[in-house]
Structure 1
Amino acid sequence: MAILVVSLLAAIASLGMYTFIAPFMMATESGAVQSITGYLWVWGIGGVLGSFLVGPLVDKFIGPVITLAIMLLLSIALISLPFAVSIHPLLTLLPIALWGAVGWALQVPQNNELVRTRQAHGDGDLAVALNESALYLGSAIGAASGGIVLAFHLPFRH
């Protein structure tokens, strides 16, 4: 359950923010970017790189250590977005690339740890399926939370 909760919380933060990257980057306070295509490309390229680079790390370190490092880097990336954009919108490319890399990389150590801990019980595949469900539930919760912020015109950046 703890592994699933980590996946849920990470998805709320990461995929929830991803849902609203366009309004964030297009807001006047964020430089009123006209197109977010390049930012999404950077996020995706970071994600692909993170997916490839995390494999060897999972083979060398225990899952919880990698997961903690990923969560810390994800926090740094998301917290630094408003600061980077306040300097210049192009500066956000750095935290966006990091965000994509660690956001995509997280599921590898999570799934590996679930298979390792649940395989003896014969339900490692089910545990991975539940982890992916936690990921999508977190995405929905993050998107709904952001939608509420926007619907009620609450400040989303300070």
Structure 2
Amino acid sequence: MKNILFLPIAMFAFGMDAYVVAGIIPEISTSFQITEAQTAQMVTAFTLCYALSAPILATLLAGFPTKKALVLSMLMFIAANLVTIFSTHLTMLLASRALAGIGAGIFSPLAAASAASLVPAEKKGRALGLLLGGMSAGTVVGVPVGLALATWLGWQGVFAVVIGIALIGLIGVVLGVPQICVAPPPSLKARVALLASRSVSATISVTFLTAVASLGLYSYLAPVITGITQQTNLTPYLWIWGLGGMVGSFTIGHLIDWVKRPRTILLSVLTLMFVAIFSIPSSLPLPSIIAFVPFFLWGAAGWSSLAPQQHTLISLQPEQSAAVVALNSSSNYLGGAVGTLLGGLWLGHGISVIQLVYAAAAVAAVAIVIQVGILRQSANAVTKECKSI
């Protein structure tokens, strides 16, 4: 396991870089004299390129030395963040975020493949979990830490911290990861081909809509809280959301193993997320303890939604497990990008942040309806099978 210990550090940098903008939107908006909706498109640029770069570039990476690709993608990520720090206008800022997303998108699937090949078969699950945990911790822990650092370092200093973390990961890759050759990540063609299955496409659509509602709204956490309560201290809300995310991430696997019905669990998770998001406007003006509850539940539900989907998809396509999990991951980040983009358009037309929250809840409700349909179809299939016997 020691050969892969630095890979989660790089993944932490990616997770922090993707959504740290959510906490420092006001500072960046003031610095560039742009709207908060325009600033939030930094998240769109990163997550959209992250979601699309791996499948699009997978074919081009075939046969390319894995370690060299890891190093070059990390260098691209670091260079892009340097450009972010020294950006002078919005176009330059968005371009740098897009390049950072491409670098992270190339690195992540190759890091997963490398981790799986560098450990014994019985430790592959633990190794992959370590990488996913690194990226989720980057968002759940890194974002509130970044917001706290922005008080002393400014928003540019936050991206400098990301660069520092990425440099540690890069040094670890250079010194610790051996020269290996792994199969390239599933290509775009392989992922799209899986959508021919109605069960897979329906499941993926729920992942996409969940991300639109959860990650899309999270990108606008600063204007939502400020717009409803006039508070400027966002740190407690980010920490509570992150704490919920950590609890959800660490408990959902045990719940799935215990109940053994991931689709039903996901329906419960989606319902919890809908209730949490819908109650934000009414709870925020209340005392802190009450106001924090929806953010904790939202974080827990949002971060626990991916594991049931992965279990379901692997059971649907056991022979294409790598491709179907990769497709689910791409759908998650694509949903986050689309949610952020739509949120920017929403606020850009002068619609209130309260209505934005309710719109996110409505998207979550659509995901619930689709998930109910999936459960009914599955129940009908089981009934038909029993009758045929």
Give the TM bin, normalised by the shorter chain. over 0.9
Aligned 8 A contact 2:269 2:301 in 1: yes
**What letter matches 2:284 in structure 1?**
V
Distance 1:91 1:25 in 2: 14
Matched, 1:73 2:282: no
Distance 2:235 2:317 in 1: 40
Q: Map 1:36-55 to 2 at 5 A.
A: 36-55=234-253
1:144 is matched with which residue? 341
Residue of structure 2 aligned with 1:3, choices 203, 208, 212: 203
Aligned 8 A contact 1:14 1:103 in 2: yes
- Post-superposition Cα deviations, 1:82-102, rounded to whole Å, max 9, x if no partner, equal 110143465321000000001
Please identify runs of 4+ aligned residues in structure 1 that moved more than 6 A. Answer: none
Distance 2:353 2:234 in 1: 18
CA RMSD, aligned part only? 1.3
**Where do 5+ consecutive residues of structure 2 fail to align?**
1-200, 356-389
- Post-superposition Cα deviations, 1:10-32, rounded to whole Å, max 9, x if no partner, equal 000000110001000011xx211
Structure 1 length as normaliser, TM-score? 0.93
- The secondary structure found in structure 1 opposite 2:353 is coil
The percent of aligned pairs where both chains have the same amino acid is 35
Q: Map 1:4-153 to 2 at 5 A.
A: 4-27=204-227, 30-61=228-259, 62-88=261-287, 91-119=290-318, 122-153=319-350
Distance 1:95 1:23 in 2: 17
2:371 is matched with which residue? none
**Where do 5+ consecutive residues of structure 1 fail to align?**
none
Distance 1:144 1:51 in 2: 26
Change (3 A) 1:24 1:88: farther
Structure 2 length as normaliser, TM-score? 0.39
Structure 1 or 2, whichever has the larger Rg, is 2
**What letter matches 1:5 in structure 2?**
S
Aligned 8 A contact 2:285 2:291 in 1: no
CA-CA distance at 1:35 after TM superposition: 1.4
Between 1:80-89 and 1:40-49, the stretch displaced more is 80-89
How many residues align structurally? 154
Aligned 8 A contact 1:70 1:102 in 2: yes
